[in-house]
Amino acid sequence: MSGLKIVGGRALCGRIHVQGAKNSVLPILAASLLSGGETVIHNCPALSDVDAAIDILRHLGCRAEFTQGTAYVDSSTMTRCDIPDELMRRMRSSVIFLGAILARAGEAKLSMPGGCELGPRPIDLHLLAMERLGAELETRGGNLLLRSHGLRGGRIDLSIPSVGATENAMIAASGAQGETLITNAAREPEIGDLGRYLRALGVKIRGEGTSTVSVEGGGFAPCCQHTIIPDRIAAATFIAAAAASGGDLTLTGVAGDHMRAVLDAFSRMGVEIRECGDTMRVLSRGKLRSPGTVTTGPYPGFPTDAQPPLMAACLGAEGISVFVETVFQSRFRHVPELRRMGADIKVDGRVAIAQGPGRLHGARVEAPDLRGGAALMVAALAAEGESIITQMRHIDRGYEKIADLLRSVGAEAERID
Ligand code: UD1
Closest by CA position to 89, among listed 402, 397, 391: 397
> Edge-to-edge strands of the sheet including 204-206?
155-157, 179-183, 213-216, 204-206
Taking only the tens place, the pLDDT of each residue in 195-210 is 999 999 999 999 999 9
pLDDT value at position 122? 87
CA of 186 from ligand 1 middle (Å) equals 10
Please choose from 162, 259, 296 the residue to mutate so as to test ligand 1's pocket, defined by most ligand atoms within 8 A of CB.
Answer: 162
Closest by CA position to 41, among listed 57, 64, 9, 7: 64
Taking only the tens place, the pLDDT of each residue in 149-178 is 999 999 999 999 999 999 999 999 999 999
CA of 168 from ligand 1 middle (Å) equals 12
pLDDT value at position 219? 85
Instruction: Give the position, in ligand 1's atom list, of the atom nearest the Cα of 370.
Output: 11
CA of 32 from ligand 1 middle (Å) equals 21
Quickly state the pLDDT bin for 396 (edges 50, 70, 90). Answer: very high
Percent of the chain at pLDDT > 90 equals 91
| Ligand 1: residue whose CA is nearest its atom 1 | 163
| Ligand 1: residue whose CA is nearest its atom 22 | 122
CA of 162 from ligand 1 middle (Å) equals 5
Percent of the chain at pLDDT > 70 equals 98
Taking only the tens place, the pLDDT of each residue in 207-225 is 999 999 999 987 899 999 9
Pairing of strands 317-324, 293-295: parallel
**Helix or strand or coil: residue 130?**
helix
Burial of residue 410, with CB atoms counted within 10 A of its CB: 0-12 exposed, 13-18 middle, 19 or more buried: middle
For residue 119, pLDDT beyond 70 = no
For residue 329, pLDDT beyond 90 = no
Please choose from 28, 116, 121 the residue to mutate so as to test ligand 1's pocket, defined by most ligand atoms within 8 A of CB.
Answer: 121
Average pLDDT value for residue range 7-17: 97
Average pLDDT value for residue range 294-315: 98
Please say whether the beta carbons of 4 and 377 come within 8 A. Answer: yes
CA of 167 from ligand 1 middle (Å) equals 11
Taking only the tens place, the pLDDT of each residue in 334-345 is 999 999 999 999
Ligand 1 cavity residues, CB under 6 Å: 23, 26, 93, 121-126, 160, 162-165, 186, 303-305, 327-328
Average pLDDT value for residue range 116-145: 87
Paired with 183 in beta bridges are 157
Rounded CA gap, 10 and 244, in Å? 10
Which residues are known to be catalytic?
116
What value, to the nearest 5°, has the Cα angle with vertex 363 and ends 359 and 368? 105
Rounded CA gap, 149 and 402, in Å? 46
CA of 164 from ligand 1 middle (Å) equals 6
| Ligand 1: residue whose CA is nearest its atom 2 | 23
pLDDT value at position 178? 96
Paired with 282 in beta bridges are 249, 273
Domains of the chain: 3-19+230-416 (3.65.10.10), 22-227 (3.65.10.10)
Give just the sign of the alpha carbon dihedral 390, 395, 401, 406.
negative
For residue 229, pLDDT beyond 90 = yes
| Ligand 1: residue whose CA is nearest its atom 39 | 164
Average pLDDT value for residue range 284-302: 95
| Ligand 1: residue whose CA is nearest its atom 15 | 23
Helix, strand counts (H, E) of the chain: 14, 25
Quickly state the pLDDT bin for 9 (edges 50, 70, 90). Answer: very high
pLDDT value at position 140? 84
For residue 142, pLDDT beyond 90 = no
For residue 91, pLDDT beyond 90 = no
Quickly state the pLDDT bin for 264 (edges 50, 70, 90). Answer: very high
Of the two residues 386 and 2, the one the predictor is more confident about is 386
Average pLDDT value for residue range 236-253: 97
Paired with 276 in beta bridges are 279
Burial of residue 79, with CB atoms counted within 10 A of its CB: 0-12 exposed, 13-18 middle, 19 or more buried: exposed
In this predicted structure, which of 248-252, 285-289, 309-313, 395-399 has the lowest mean pLDDT? 285-289
Main-chain phi, psi angles of 163, to 5 degrees: -65, -55
| Ligand 1: residue whose CA is nearest its atom 5 | 163
pLDDT value at position 118? 60
Quickly state the pLDDT bin for 379 (edges 50, 70, 90). Answer: very high
Instruction: Give the position, in ligand 1's atom list, of the atom nearest the Cα of 298.
Output: 14
pLDDT value at position 74? 98
Instruction: Give the position, in ligand 1's atom list, of the atom nearest the Cα of 161.
Output: 34
Question: What secondary structure does DSSP assign to 354-390, as a single string?
Answer: EEE----B--EEE--SHHHHHHHHHHHHHSBSEEEEE
pLDDT value at position 287? 87
pLDDT averaged over every residue in the chain: 95
Residues making up the chain, counted from first to last: 417
The terminus-to-terminus CA distance of the chain in angstroms comes to 6
Q: Residue-wise over 203-236: b if at least 16 C-beta within 10 A, else e?
A: bebebbbeeebbbbbeebeeebebebbbbbbbbb
Question: Using N-to-C axis directions, what is the helix angle for 22-31 and 163-174, rounded to 10°?
Answer: 30
For residue 114, pLDDT beyond 60 = no
Please say whether the beta carbons of 19 and 234 come within 8 A. Answer: yes
pLDDT value at position 154? 97
